[in-house]
Amino acid sequence: MSAVAPRPGDPAITPALVAEHGLNALEYEHLVAMLGRTPTFTELGIISALWSEHCSYKHSRPLLKTLPTTAPYVLQGPGENAGVISIGDGLAVAFKIESHNHPSAVEPYQGAATGVGGILRDVFTMGARPIAMLDSLRFGSLDSPRVRYLFAGVVKGIGDYGNCVGIPTVAGEIVFDGAYDGNPLVNAMCVGLMHERDLIRAKAEGVGNPIIAVGARTGRDGIHGASFASEDLSAASDAKRPRVQVGDPFTEKLLLEASLELIKSDYIVAIQDMGAAGLTSSSAEMAERGDVGVTIDVTKVPTRESGMSPYEILLSESQERMLVVAKRGHEKDVAAILGKWDLTAAVIGEVIAEQVYRVTEGDTVVAEFPGSRLVTDCPSYSPEARESPTVRGLREADPTAVRERPEEQDPLWTFEQLLSAPTIASKAWAYRQYDSTVRTNTVIGPGGDAAVLRVRGTNKALAVKTDCNGRYAYLDPRVGGRIAVAEAARNVACTGARPMAITNCLNFGNPTRPEVFFQLKEAIAGMGEACRALGTPVTGGNVSLYNESAAGAVYPTPVVGMVGLIEDLSYVTRATFRQDGDAILLLGEMGGELGGSEYLATIHGAVLGPPPACDVAREKATIDALLEAIRSGVVSSAHDCSDGGMAIALAECCIADPEAESGAEVDLSRWGHLPNRALLFGETQGRFVISSQVPERVLTIARDAGISCTRIGTVRSGSDALAITLAEGVLRAPRSMMRRAYHDTIPGIMSRAPERAQQAEIGVGGH
Amino acid sequence: MKFGIVTFPGSNCDYDAYHALTDVLGEDAVYLWHKDHDLKDADVVVLPGGFSYGDYLRAGAIARFSPIMQEVAAHARTGGPVLGVCNGFQVLCEAGLLPGALVRNANLQFISAPVRIRVESTETLFTNRYEKGELLKIPIAHGDGRYFAPRAVLDALEGEGRVIFRYADARGNTSADANPNGSERNIAGIVSEHGNVLGMMPHPERACSPLLGSDDGVRLFESILARVAA
């Protein structure tokens, strides 16, 4: 070991400074014991980033280990930049989801844009070419100008970045709920396609190999972004806006092309994005995976401005930068590839035999840690988990006891309210701003159940979707965790795809609070149950904790990003009715559960009752039956029945696709024992609305699988309405009304107010 | 026939054009690098969509100064066919090979949507395989696609039959509602004085497969083949 002395001008290490760096007493003791001395300011900064929740997963690691992560086709599970699965023909898919909640809460445009940039880099550093982006977004109520400002900014940020790089944004979800008022959730997922032979891991290897910084120069932006993302949002968060990085999609596009060329070139052994905690985490993680030592000289790092300290260079989160471990002797070849794309490459360090993580400033050592397990050496925690009695009370409340409003006498009123609820209504206002057709693979774009992308050179396609119902997870995190996986699987299956694997993004509050840790623990357990039953392992993901503002924690929101495989393009199935005279069938039970429903939330402002039951074995059997019917060629359309229940699913089948509208006649009178609101708007799980020319075949397949299936109506292309016969009377919804409610709601809201709230109105968590 | 597809830094539809020309049409195509002065004996030059040089300063404003553009301009001056799509159209206007300019969409948002365009003339190198008045379903994806030119220029374009495509509704009406971006006179595509340079905002290379929603773009490329091969 070499001598490490404080750098002139560095602040003294005091308890206050340690606290400011987010280390608790236990962690600081651990650090001192590890070093055998007081850390330097630079070392404290490094550890502050690496042991932040964002980088270290210190509250979630033990829980995440319980998730299933293997299958014969999983080529890379958790622990890398992205998970990778094989899809046959020598091809593989790399995919991952990541949150950018905190930056987006204070600076929506750049926060969301850099979220897209970061996840793109995680995928192309595996050797895959990104082929699709998805975005799972949650905002507060659109009644608030601040929320409209956040929504507009996030959507524009996602669009401007992805559009410029030239990766289609094809799917996702957008939910509006007061629970996200002070703390929006912005989760971005990227899917990439590669040859299995090009798979590369971010593992530093080979003593003497050079470590090279490539891409953009390092500036003072985003310093402490990882730590910022690991604390609650407060009124003071606004002052941390400078911690939000600024994205440059043009440089990203160049970096993408250069990186893929590098990976194919055989000149490098490892490559990783300098993402959260920048140079620090990328170098420490690569060293840890390779179980080697590294040394880095910060004076060799190309910077945007002079006079940057080692602390700043190490912790900068300037965007569009990569760290590469090259093969010794190929430094010039690497530089030549970067040079072709007008990017720079600088050798900043090397892999060493000594088990040490060392940072120098010229010849002076400014930080040095023994061992190679800097990240996982962080203490991990399993704090107390205890359900909030308030939430238990809400769950145990009886939803049928909620008195109907007088307007509900006419179910058409309720129907229109729900169809125009922002969470249900069409999100075309947002996705029209995303290029969804570039790269010419998009078979089904945004607006369907899942997006479908063809795989060139094969007869296969991929189906991708993100899902989560935070209200369910709030009322019962275990059931909510199960449903997030099951719903994503159903959505993917509706297109004809077999669900293959998931990536997850766990958005929760402050884990040191027992009720939050309970939610985290239960939701992960529920996800694990569903993943095991459905045969969809978790190949990676991201945990975002401390999603809290003055208004409290967000709903626990364990978002699932699912990838499914369509074995034959002829199986590709759409959500909306296709053909006049087709029979309409319900695959699954009618049920009628109202707990945690969109109906209760929108019509009654009530979040209560047990969320719908989710029997994961039955979900699997229902999905298998649907896929068998699709592969038999007897399914014209298939749509998952979820938010808003049966009536909303039927409406979407009629009018969601403006290019292929139709009417329908449906008879639900056989379920006359159910109250209208439960029948029409209940959210029982495991249900599909299918249309078919040969319903007998579908009925037979379902019967053989032991799954309930009922013919409920007929597609009427020429009809100008959806007519649902009830035990008493008929709900007749004109197409013109449905079209207006579904398609015009969000554009109407977004045009009625100034798109950007004045800065003066901004105060995170202030209301 | 050989197509040359220019790759500027930031081009992102070059691959889509390559795929349409080689895999769908079975033609020969090569990429042309922006730093080169070599058209590699291409008979037809394609300036693809994307964000050349990040669209910094103004869409297409920097790309026009790249080395390859000197060769593209020379090719166009001698009657060689040039097709500019989306960012390619913007580059052609910036380079003075087509009149007018593409400015920010009227709603100030990026618009990605399938649209319909009406074929206004079948007398050109690029449209001889279409019917006059035919409606084509072709996607747009742009933030700066609002065609603008002074009235005298617009009148001249109309008078010379150089407006080739207009945004239209499903019935073929070129109404304001059918105009996605606020283009003057619903203009979606124009040709140069001698008809050998076409600029258009919609993406014909994205409309080459029924699987992806439309193959109305295929005949645009077949039109070029019919005329240039003849």
Rounded-to-integer distance, Cα A286 and Cα A273, Å: 10
Residue A229 has a pLDDT of 66
Number of domains in chain B: 1
Q: Tell me if A616 sits within 8 A of A624, measured CB to CB.
A: no
Q: Tell me if B40 sits within 8 A of B4, measured CB to CB.
A: yes
Full 3-state SS string of A684-737? CCCCEEEEECCHHHHHHHHHHHCCCEEEEEEEECCCCEEEEECCCCEEEEEHHH
Strand partners, A733: A722
Instruction: Report yes or no for ipTM above 0.90.
Output: yes
Rounded-to-integer distance, Cα A111 and Cα A188, Å: 11
User: What value does the mean pLDDT take over residues B105-126?
Assistant: 97
Q: What is the pLDDT of residues A440-484, one digit of tens each?
A: 999 999 998 999 999 999 999 999 999 999 999 999 999 999 999
Q: Tell me if A572 sits within 8 A of A444, measured CB to CB.
A: yes
Interface of B with A in 52-111 (CB under 8 A): 53-56, 109-111
Rounded-to-integer distance, Cα B158 and Cα B156, Å: 5
Active site residues of A: 54, 100
Residue A721 phi, psi (nearest 5): -150, 160
Dihedral of CA atoms A737, A742, A745, A748 in degrees, nearest 10, equals -80
Report the percent of chain A where pLDDT is more than 90: 88
Q: What is the pLDDT of residues A352-401, one digit of tens each?
A: 999 999 999 999 999 999 987 888 888 899 999 999 999 999 999 999 99
Asked if the model's pLDDT at residue A258 lies above 60, the reply is yes
B130 touches chain A (CB under 8 A): no
8 Å CB contact of B206 and A659: no
Residue B14 has a pLDDT of 97
Q: Tell me if A423 sits within 8 A of A175, measured CB to CB.
A: yes
Given CA atoms A107, A108, A110, A116 in this order, what sign does their dihedral have?
Answer: positive
Residues found in chain B: 230
Which tokens is A637 given?
A: 């359309």
Q: How far is CA A87 from CA A74, A453, B117, in A?
A: 9, 13, 38
> Measured at the alpha carbon of residue A70, what is the angle toward residues A69 and A75, in degrees to the nearest 5?
105
Rounded-to-integer distance, Cα A144 and Cα A757, Å: 9
Q: What is the pLDDT of residues A539-549, one digit of tens each?
A: 999 999 999 98
Rounded-to-integer distance, Cα A561 and Cα A505, Å: 8
Dihedral of CA atoms A540, A546, A552, A557 in degrees, nearest 10, equals 0
Asked if the model's pLDDT at residue A243 lies above 80, the reply is no
Q: Tell me if B42 sits within 8 A of B4, measured CB to CB.
A: yes
Interface of B with A in 166-225 (CB under 8 A): 203, 205-206, 208-209, 211-212
Q: How far is CA A574 from CA A133, A303, A450, A570, B120, in A?
A: 20, 50, 9, 12, 34
Residues of A whose CB is below 8 A from B55: 164, 250
Q: Out of A432, A441, A454, name the one closest to residue B112 (CB).
A: A432
Residue A758 has a pLDDT of 42
Strand partners, A162: none
Which tokens is A309 given?
A: 């300290």
Q: Out of B9, B112, B114, name the one closest to residue A341 (CB).
A: B9
> What domain range is B185 assigned to?
2-229
* Strands B44-47 and B2-7, bridge-based pairing: parallel
CATH number for the domain harbouring residue B92: 3.40.50.880
User: What value does the mean pLDDT take over residues A690-716?
Assistant: 98
Q: How confident is the model at residue A239 (pLDDT cuts 50, 70, 90)?
A: low
A542: nearest Cα among A78, A6, A74? A78
Q: Out of A250, A438, A443, name the one closest to residue B10 (CB).
A: A250
User: What value does the mean pLDDT take over residues A127-131?
Assistant: 97
Residue A753 has a pLDDT of 57
Asked if the model's pLDDT at residue A754 lies above 80, the reply is no
A551: left (phi over 0), alpha (psi -120 to 50) or beta: alpha
A156 touches chain B (CB under 8 A): yes
Q: How confident is the model at residue A757 (pLDDT cuts 50, 70, 90)?
A: very low
Asked if the model's pLDDT at residue A760 lies above 50, the reply is no
DSSP code string of B111-140 = EEEEEEEEE--SSSTTTTTSPTT-EEEEEE
Question: Tokens 């029948």 sit at which residue?
Answer: A679
Residue B194 annotated among the catalytic residues of the structure? no
Q: What is the pLDDT of residues A520-533, one digit of tens each?
A: 999 999 999 999 99
Q: How confident is the model at residue A246 (pLDDT cuts 50, 70, 90)?
A: confident
User: What value does the mean pLDDT take over residues A713-725?
Assistant: 97
